[in-house]
Amino acid sequence: MPQGHVFIATSLDGFIARADGDIAWLIARDDPAEDHGFTAFIAGIEAMVMGAGTWAAVQDFDPWPYPIPVLVLSRRLAGQTPPARLAGKVRFLDLAPDAAMDLLASEGVRQVYVDGGKLVRSFLAGGLIDTITLTQVPVLLGGGLPLFGPVPQDIDLQLLSSRAFPSGLVQSQYRVLR
Amino acid sequence: MPQGHVFIATSLDGFIARADGDIAWLIARDDPAEDHGFTAFIAGIEAMVMGAGTWAAVQDFDPWPYPIPVLVLSRRLAGQTPPARLAGKVRFLDLAPDAAMDLLASEGVRQVYVDGGKLVRSFLAGGLIDTITLTQVPVLLGGGLPLFGPVPQDIDLQLLSSRAFPSGLVQSQYRVLR
């Protein structure tokens, strides 16, 4: 089975976006002069999976930021054709997490970037996440779309590394223990 | 007005205890050989405020761990007499956060330790918290008593320091910006 990897930012109180998907609070606190390691992370990744919510947030990004094949897992979008400019880069599929990983395995993919709150939670629940790189932004939003949610049982993590940035971001990398 | 300080541990998904108040998960992951700074923190503090929930969790601690006067803010407990062994150490009062801080100010207190999820949230909402030292434990509980909750508006934080421990705890200290 491929290994799933999460690389995501939250507010200190655990939200990836406001309730309406807004991430302006995040962008406003991002210092573009700081290297938060995304380029190094994505260099070790062969494919990405996201849900419909993340797709909605990123579909208009120009240039398209992902140098790897993207699966958008969505019952609603499945069967639709991605925008022409993303032909060959994005597929819309109605697959459960383990089926998506099986498909990627059959294509020779071993390292998968899993993005978006709902998808991260379902992949975590399925035991499909190997590492989580969590970047915490020094702000309390008080509400919004959470990264984490209910889990079938406690999930122990092993801290691999942690670093603080001058901007106040704290980034910690964990391995998910099963 | 005195300055409020939070020194607290949460799971990586933001819970201070399970829904029933259980913190065995926390104690099991505490390496007593590691100095997480509580002694140094409390040395700079002159009084402590807690709510009824924290009181219920700590009232049987023997020896009593707090070397400073403790106010338990609780409508239900107010008027009751604390246990004899804690006479002169603990007071039960029905005071709102700002009234509690006013009382402490009148007694010459300048640095206050604010503990417990509900109380931290109400003191934060009242602009009464100066620093937050948050120690994140490498486990996902999936549910329980949260540290943070709704806020009247975004609360910006300034990262003062961050450090990781061999046990996997990550402790970050923030100043609350107003």
pLDDT tens, N- to C-terminus, chain B (178 residues): 999 999 999 999 999 999 999 999 999 999 999 999 999 999 999 999 999 999 998 999 999 999 999 999 999 999 899 999 999 999 999 999 999 999 999 999 999 999 999 999 999 999 999 999 999 999 999 999 999 999 999 999 999 999 999 999 999 999 999 7
What is the architecture of the domain spanning B3-176? 3-Layer(aba) Sandwich (3.40)
Q: Which of B169, B172, B130 is nearest to B35 (CA)?
A: B169
Which of B147, B162, B178 should we substitute to test contact with A (largest number of A Cβ atoms within 10 Å)?
A: B162
* CA–CA gap between residue B154 and residue B90 (Å, rounded): 34
Per-domain boundaries in chain A = 3-176
**CA distance, residue A96 to nearest chain B CA (Å):** 21
Nearest to B155 among A134, A139, A150 (CB): A139
Per-residue pLDDT reduced to its tens digit, A93-137: 999 999 999 999 999 999 999 999 999 999 999 999 999 999 999
Each residue of B106-138: b (16+ CB within 10 Å) or e?
eeebebbbbbbbbbbbbbbbeebbbbbbbbbbb
Q: Which residues of chain B from 82 to 111 reach within 8 Å of chain A, CB to CB?
A: none
* Band of pLDDT at residue A83, cut at 50, 70 and 90: very high
Residue A62 C-alpha from the chain's centroid: 19
Residues A140, B155: C-beta atoms closer than 8 Å: yes
Q: B44: Cβ–Cβ under 8 A, 6 or more apart, which residues?
A: B111
Decide: helix, strand or coil at residue B119. helix
Q: Is B143 on the interface with A (CB under 8 A)?
A: yes
Decide: helix, strand or coil at residue B74. coil
Which of B6, B131, B170 should we substitute to test contact with A (largest number of A Cβ atoms within 10 Å)?
A: B170
C-alpha distances (whole Å) from B48 to each of B5, B94, B98, B117 are 9, 15, 14, 14
Residues B154, A141: C-beta atoms closer than 8 Å: yes
* A15-17 and A145-146 strand pairing: antiparallel
Q: Which ranges of chain B does DSSP label H, i.e. alpha helix?
A: 24-28, 38-43, 52-58, 97-106, 117-125
* CA–CA gap between residue A64 and residue A69 (Å, rounded): 11
Averaged pLDDT, A154-175: 98
Task: Search chain A and give the residue with CA nearest B144.
Answer: A150
Mean pLDDT of chain A: 96
Give the single-character DSSP code of B44.
T
Chain B residues in contact with A172 (beta carbon < 8 A)? 136, 164, 170
Residue A145 has pLDDT above 90, yes or no: yes
Q: How many CB atoms lie within 10 A of CB A94?
A: 14
Q: How many CB atoms lie within 10 A of CB A54?
A: 25
| Interface ipTM | 0.96
Nearest to A157 among B124, B140, B149 (CB): B140
